[in-house]
Amino acid sequence: MQISTPKQLKELQQKFQDKDNKLVKKIIVCHGPGCLASGAEKIFEEFQQVLSKKKIKGVTLEALKKTGCHGLCEKAPLVAIEPAGILYTRVKPRLVEDIIEKTVKNDEVIPELLYQDPETKKRVEKYRDIKFYSHQTRIALRNLGHINTADIEDFIRVGGYQAMAKAITKMTPERIIDEVTKSGLRGRGGGGFSTGRKWATCRKVKDDTHYVICNGDEGDPGAFMDRAIMEGDPHSVLEGMIIAAFAVGARSGYIYVREEYPLAVVNLQIAIEQAREYGLLGESIFGTDFSFDIQINRGAGAFVCGESSALMKSVAGEVGEPRAKYIRSVVKGLYDKPTVLNNVETFANVPVIIDRGAKWFTGIGAPKNSGTKAFSLVGKVRNTGLIEVPMGTSLREIIYDIGGGLIDGRPFKAVQTGGPSGGCLPDSLLDSPVDFDSLTKAGSMMGSGGMIVMDDRTCMVDVAKYFLSFLVSESCGKCNPCREGLYQLYKLAVKVSEGRAEEDDLEKMEKLSDMIIIGSLCGLGKSGPNPFLSTVRYFREEYLAHIKEKKCPAGVCRELIRFEINDKCDGCTACILACAYNAITGKKKEPHVINQDLCTHCGACVTVCTRNAIDVI
Amino acid sequence: MVNITINGKLVQAYEDEMLLTAIRRENIDIPALCHHEAVEPYGACRLCMVEITKDEWDGWKNHVTSCLYPVEEGLIVNTHTPTVIELRKTILDLFLAGSPRSTVIRKLAAEYGVTKTSYEEVPDGTDCILCGLCTRVCDKMGFSAISAVNRGHGKEIAPPLNEPPPDCVGCLSCAYICPTRYIKFTDDGKTRKIWGRKFKLLHCEKTGQPTITEEFARYLVKNRQIPEDYFKINDLSHRKELALKMGEITQWGREE
């Protein structure tokens, strides 16, 4: 099936829509990362079996959809019944028959499976009424939870590849670039550079070869936005890339996918083959002289290869080390040819901008930060999951309305944004808007969109230590300030957390951080001290408590804490059983005692104690 | 030619050359441990960083590695500002923590007033400062026998799988270019040992003097069109004759 004109594409869309309209109901089985991990495949199989046995009018096997991430990963696995929009949470295979019998066949809702509002304790029938969903605006994630993963028919049905058809047959490259520039779209990988300007510069470079690269090397701990898009809606990424290629004059493109995302590779590969089969990739697309094809490159597990110049080296088969970008990669990139590199989410935004126009796009978001941003909301928040909000939404709205507040109603302490080299923001900044410029001003950064919420039981020195250790092992090791400087900064953070630091060590750390920022070769090193700088900026007293009083106020740093059993102990012996070091002694129904010499501060006793009888001092 | 200002002095530089070359031409001493004119600049040691600005930048300044920064018309360069000196001091301090016994590092650090590292000494630190000169020169020779392996603080230079490298010819380029003399080799006139490999040396048929390794000779004959008997006699008159022959080859024989 080769599509050679936009008209054919429209006809095809109509055909798929007609087919779809015949379905009275749709059963959406989320196949996002969270749901897959919780057994979505088994649920899907169960639905298949039950559905093929039962005959329900207007509900064939085609009504069953395997979609990308629906969003509310906390309640995985998720099943939604459309068009009613009923969302079932924590679904188990044994409940499938019930769902079909009651909800699909008889329109009867099963209350136990509905989402329960943590505040009002009320069950919410339709997911659009859940605050988690109602506060979101989905552009890049528009198709996730609605269409089959890697299914070109379903993608075309919802209007897929129409923007590309418009771009190639009705627009000039200059107009496309102009539209993207005017939309104010900024790089969603974290750089925040104007996508349109990047394309314009690349187009202007006179060369016989230009490249388009999609950066799918998402490596920030806790982040999975790009993964969800590549796995759940790979065609959107391809469509964005094809438009970019047409605009800059590229004939070949690469998608660089991180090693740890095998399903993304599979689904992207399926999508590429489908697009080739439909003539949307390959020679003479839409009968024009524009030809373009895409190839997938797999990373080998290095975080630093998400840095554009290291990524290009890795694609070329060299050691993934960044280079100095005094000559930018839009001028001299992959194989020294002008190259446009954008992130997955950026490309997923492009078709919508071409389709609906720059003006529409700038109407969403904040000044100079138009559009939306996808985040993976994780940590100590009730509704962890994949979200997309207009730029400028406050942290409070994200954490409390969408996220549903903190688990167990514990006090909020900090939110970490921007990945490992981002920063931690305190509660005084909860009302600040989330956009590129505001986050940078606050000492953090947008990064690719990881957002980790922390409660009062988190030690900020420990957090800084964790992220620094991540960067020490993930630095490429090429330049001295990043390799040796971050290592020493980490060592000093360890010294603080172990209570061995002096007060002037903080000053030493700040000075060293300044030098790492000035001296490092690439963005990883230049932002590497951020975990320390942002925590010391907003939580200095916590550092000082470790240094002066030799105490960890949050009760985390093992060298500075002691576990003691208080008089609430009723002698249940649970902690004695839990302690692997035989550090706890005591008779049944008599208060127990911890032998401090044997205690390793592992915390197992605290976890099992049901009476809050163990104090962390 | 482009006009640039280095430490207040207006100088001319060749187009396309790097800032470091222009600075050194002015006899200004800036350290650089990963730089060598024989190979492509790399920008790893960061010691050659300088402050740059331009009149039209409205006071905005940037710090760049001069070994990698192409000269530009109107560039104003300062090679020894307090920040730049502080940076070099910090870098040398960090190098000293990793390679406390290296005489080269100790000497250079002392020039910047650092005699003892203010950081924790790296356990099992070596004299290798990961400047990448050895791997770059090995690549340029066409062998790529050694490479950087691992990343982060665990990065090191090693042959593939840490086994004697099959592509090494024992040319010693890596050992000679190593700024801290970390790459060790032995040569007893009969055999040469480097990277865990043993190489037999060729000897002059006339004087019995050792020349180069068999593997290196074979490589040069095969890839650089050097006549086979060139290495047989280590004698100037003989070499001259052959060199003339080679000149003919390079001029006429290797055109296409």
pLDDT in tens, A284-299: 999 999 999 999 999 9
User: Does ipTM come in above 0.90?
Assistant: yes
* Structural fold of domain A366-458: Ubiquitin-like (UB roll) (3.10.20)
Show the tokens assigned to A246.
Answer: 């047409």
Instruction: Report d(CA B215, CA A174) in Å as an integer.
Output: 57
Query: Pick from B91, B98, B151: which is nearest to A475 by CB?
Result: B151
Taking CB atoms and an 8 Å cutoff, what residues of chain B touch A512?
90
Question: Could you tell me the end-to-end alpha-carbon distance of chain B, in angstroms, rounded to an integer?
Answer: 33
| Spatial CA neighbour of A148 closest among A26, A50, A46 | A26
For residue range A364-383, list pLDDT tens digits in order.
999 999 999 999 999 999 99
Chain B hits for A498, Cβ within 8 Å? none
pLDDT of residue B251: 56
pLDDT surpassing 80 at residue A94: yes
Whether residue A195 is predicted with pLDDT greater than 70 in this model: the reply is yes
Q: How many CB atoms lie within 10 A of CB B95?
A: 27
Residues in chain A: 617
Mean pLDDT, rounded, for B231-250: 71
Question: Residue B249: pLDDT band by 50, 70, 90 thresholds?
Answer: low
Contact A232, A152 (CB under 8 A): no
pLDDT confidence tier of residue A61, bands split at 50, 70 and 90: confident
Domain ranges of chain B: 2-80, 133-253
The A residues from 515 to 544 touching B (CB cutoff 8 Å) are: 515, 518-521
Least confident of A160-164, A448-452, A525-529: A448-452
* Domain A562-616 architecture: 2-Layer Sandwich (3.30)
| CB distance A406 to A521 below 8 Å | no
| Chain A residue closest in CA terms to B69 | A326
- Say if residue B253's pLDDT is above 50: no
Above 90 in pLDDT, residue A59? no
Place of tokens 């919802």: A158
User: In this complex, do B129 and A476 lie within 8 Å of one another by their Cβ atoms?
Assistant: no
- CB of B97 within 8 A of CB of B114? no
**Interchain pair B155, A477: CB under 8 A:** yes
Do residues B205 and B174 lie in contact, with contact meaning Cβ atoms separated by under 8 Å?
no
Q: What is the pLDDT of residue A58?
A: 78
User: B122: which chain A residues are within 8 Å (Cβ-Cβ)?
Assistant: 484, 487
Q: Is residue B150's pLDDT more than 60?
A: yes
Task: Establish if B62 touches chain A: CB-CB under 8 angstroms.
Answer: no
Q: Is B91 on the interface with A (CB under 8 A)?
A: yes
CB-nearest to B43 from A479, A484, A487 is A479
- Between chains, do B94 and A488 touch, taking CB under 8 Å as contact? yes
By C-alpha distance, the chain A residue nearest B130 is A478
Please report residues of A whose CB lies closer than 8 A to that of B119.
Answer: 488, 491
Give tens-digit pLDDT for B203-219. Answer: 988 888 888 999 999 99
Report whether B20 contacts B67 (CB < 8 A).
yes
> pTM, whole model, 2 decimals?
0.91
- CB count within 10 Å of CB B118 equals 14
Give per-residue pLDDT as tens, B33-42. Answer: 999 999 999 9
SS (H, E, C) A530-594: HHHHHHHHHCHHHHHHHHCCCCCCCCCCHHHCCEEECCCCCCCCHHHHHCCCCCEECCCCCCCEE
Going by DSSP bridges, is the β-strand pair A211-216/A339-343 parallel, antiparallel, or unpaired?
parallel
User: How many Cβ atoms sit within 10 Å of the Cβ of residue A409?
Assistant: 10
The answer on pLDDT for A490 being more than 60 is yes
* Candidate from A302, A326, A472 with C-beta closest to B68: A326
A19-127 domain in CATH 3.40.50.1820?
no
Amino acid at position A92, single letter: K
Q: What is the pLDDT of residues B40-83, one digit of tens each?
A: 999 999 999 999 999 999 999 999 999 999 999 999 999 999 99
Domain boundaries of chain A, sorted by first residue: 19-127, 152-361, 366-458, 461-547, 562-616
What are the pLDDT digits (tens) for A239-253?
A: 999 999 999 999 999
pLDDT of residue B254: 44
Percentage with pLDDT > 90 across chain A: 85
Please name the fold of domain A152-361. Rossmann fold (3.40.50)
Q: Which residues in chain B have their CB less than 8 angstroms from residue A521's CB?
A: 43-44, 46, 65
CATH number, domain B2-80: 3.10.20.740
Task: Report the alpha-carbon distance of residue A136 to residue A509 in Å, rounded.
Answer: 40
Per the rule left: phi > 0, alpha: psi between -120 and 50, beta: everything else, A25 is beta
Tokens of residue A401, six digits: 């309305």
User: For the structural domain made of A461-547, what CATH number should be given?
Assistant: 1.20.1440.230
- Residue B239: CB partners within 8 Å, gap ≥ 6? B230, B233
CA dist A270 and A243 (Å) reads 20
Q: Which of A536, A526, A539, A530 has its CA nearest to residue A423?
A: A530
> A366-458 with A562-616: one CATH topology?
no
Long-range CB contacts (within 8 A, 24+) of B9-13: B13/B71
Type of residue at A370: S
Average pLDDT, rounded, for chain A: 94
In the structure encoding, which two tokens stand for residue A608, read together? 């099992």
B179, B78 in Cβ contact below 8 A?
no
Q: What count of other Cβ atoms lies within 10 Å of the Cβ of residue A224?
A: 23
**Strand ranges in chain B using DSSP code E only, listed in sequence order:** 2-6, 9-13, 49-53, 62-65, 76-78, 147-149, 156-158, 185-187, 191-194, 197-203, 210-213
pLDDT confidence bin for A190, thresholds 50/70/90: confident
Is B152 within 8 Å of A483 when comparing Cβ atoms? yes
What is the average per-residue pLDDT within A208-235?
A: 94
Residues of B in contact with A496 (CB under 8 A): none
Q: Kindly determine whether residue A519 and residue B155, on different chains, have CB atoms separated by under 8 Å.
A: no
A77 prior amide bond cis, ω within 30 = yes
Closest to B9 in 3D by CA, of B33, B26, B34: B26
Rounded to an integer, the average pLDDT of A583-590 is 91
Cis peptide before B70 (omega within 30 of 0): no
Residues near A609 by beta carbon (within 8 Å), at least 6 away in sequence: A574, A575
Instruction: For residue A480, list chain B residues with Cβ-Cβ distance below 8 A.
Output: 44-46, 91, 94-95, 129
Q: Distance between CA A418 and CA A440 in Å, rounded?
A: 10
Strands (E) in A380-537, as ranges, are 385-390, 412-417, 423-426, 450-455
Residue B255, pLDDT score: 43
B123 touches chain A (CB under 8 A): no
Residue B31, CA distances (Å) to B35, B65, B89 in order: 9, 11, 11
Average pLDDT over residues A496-522: 96
Strands (E), A111-251: 115-116, 123-124, 211-216
Count of CB atoms situated within 10 Å of the CB of A139 = 21
From B100's Cα to the closest Cα of chain A, the distance in A is 13
Q: What are the tokens at A552?
A: 């960890």
Q: Which two tokens stand for residue A602?
A: 């592992």
